[in-house]
Amino acid sequence: MVEAAELIDNDFLRQFEIKIDNDLAKIEYSLQERKIFLTKLIIPDTINNEEFKKEFLSLVFEEIESRNLSVMPTCPAIAKFVRSNRKYKRMLPVGVRI
């Protein structure tokens, strides 16, 4: 589902977006120095399932990693994703544990 869609970093609205059919899933963020704070995950009910959420978050984390930024997940759903995916824990700032 997510493979065919393009991840967009909407700088103006400060959110990562992915459009599936006519639905828009997004992750709002705040960028401070070399850290990106992921503040809100919004997925429409029509595409809200665990598989989509995992693929979408993986795409976003890969994009953030390519920019060499640290991640501060302030949204509970995103923090849960980081806890369950050990490979993304290394992207947390030094001294931060989830």
Rounded average pLDDT over 17-22: 91
Is 15:28 a contact under the CB 8 Å cutoff? yes
CATH fold of 7-91: Aminopeptidase (3.40.630)
Token pair in block for residue 18: 């992915």
Burial-class residue 25 by CB neighbours within 10 Å (0-12, 13-18, 19+): buried
- Which residues face 7 on adjacent strands? 18
Question: Would you say residue 1 has pLDDT above 70?
Answer: no
Question: Would you say residue 69 has pLDDT above 80?
Answer: yes
Could you tell me the pTM of the whole model? 0.90
Domain boundaries, the chain: 7-91
Q: Are strands 23-32 and 70-73 parallel, antiparallel or unpaired?
A: unpaired
- pLDDT tens for residues 23-56? 999 999 999 989 999 999 999 999 888 999 999 9
